[in-house]
Amino acid sequence: MATRPAGSHVNAWRPLVAGVAEVFHAHFVDHAYPRHIHDVWTLLIVDDGAVHFDLDRHRHGALRTSVTLLPPYVPHDGSSATPGGFRKRVLYLDTSALGAELVGRAVDEPDLADPQLRDRIHHLHQVLAAPGDEFEAESRLALILDRLRGQLRQRPPVEGQPAGPGLAVRLRELLDARTVEGVTLGEAAELLHAHPTHLVRTFTQVHGVPPHSYLTGRRVELVRRLLLAGQRPAEAAVAAGFFDQAHLTRHFRRYLGVSPARYLGGPVTGIRRAGRR
């Protein structure tokens, strides 16, 4: 039996396929994701090991035999459920790929026991690994999205889920609009006509993370996209609103387990450079 590499490594790229914001392959030995939020759908398959994660305060597991779909704007974390870590492949899908009406069903049950769907996702990753077959990738993605919609719509709607209070939604929209330049709590409270303490409590209750953690996560997401577009870490740090590269690196490593310089496929602990294929 082949021995797995001793260290962690990641490989990330942006394909020229509409609807796919990022492809992310990773082998993590001991990294644990903190609680965070994406603004995209996360379509995940595990190739080795298993993952524990909390989604909207409920415990779940991602296994090699299943497909995991995490909706946008719902807090989650993640850590290895097996000795030696885990290997995973992720497609980050634009919110245009799946309707907002499916979010509640995905929160209710993010794990899909569908071997055919998993096989289709596996083959899509193979196609996306090299440029030139974008039309095939688009065709495969269309079939995957159609099957996901069918899976989610078979489930009865989740009852008793209150809509997010408008104040928390408005603050999220403000943070999205001011991701780079930022906003003070006092300024946000004045703009939204709310007491600062009430603003923080409402946002945390609705979104599962406090406003400052949400803003940091959004900036990390922006840096990821800037790095994929070719910017250097020091430039990306400033462009995304971090104080400097050291400030960025501290948060980036906390969220993703690697430094910005090694994000695009470099070794973390002495393994061969993966590179972009």
Report the chain's mean pLDDT, rounded to a whole number. 85
| Cα distances (Å, whole numbers) of residue 170 to 101, 145, 195, 205 | 20, 30, 14, 14
Percentage of the chain exceeding pLDDT 90: 55
Residues 6+ apart with CB under 8 A from 40: 21, 22, 72, 92, 93, 94, 95
Q: How confident is the model at residue 8 (pLDDT cuts 50, 70, 90)?
A: confident
CA dihedral sign of residues 149, 153, 158, 164: positive
Supply the pLDDT for residue 266: 54
* Whether residue 5 has pLDDT greater than 50: no
Residue among 48, 57, 63 nearest 75 (CA) = 57
- Nearest CA-CA partner of 255 in 270, 276, 277, 240: 240
- Summarize pLDDT for 90-123 with one digit per residue, the tens: 999 999 999 999 999 988 888 999 999 999 999 9
Cβ-proximal residues to 247 (8 Å cutoff; 6+ apart), any chain: 237
Helix H segments across 178-210?
185-192, 196-207
Instruction: Classify domain 166-262 by CATH architecture.
Output: Orthogonal Bundle (1.10)
The full set of domain ranges for the chain reads 9-153, 166-262
Q: Please name the CATH architecture into which domain 9-153 falls.
A: Sandwich (2.60)
The tokens describing 188, both together, are 């946000």
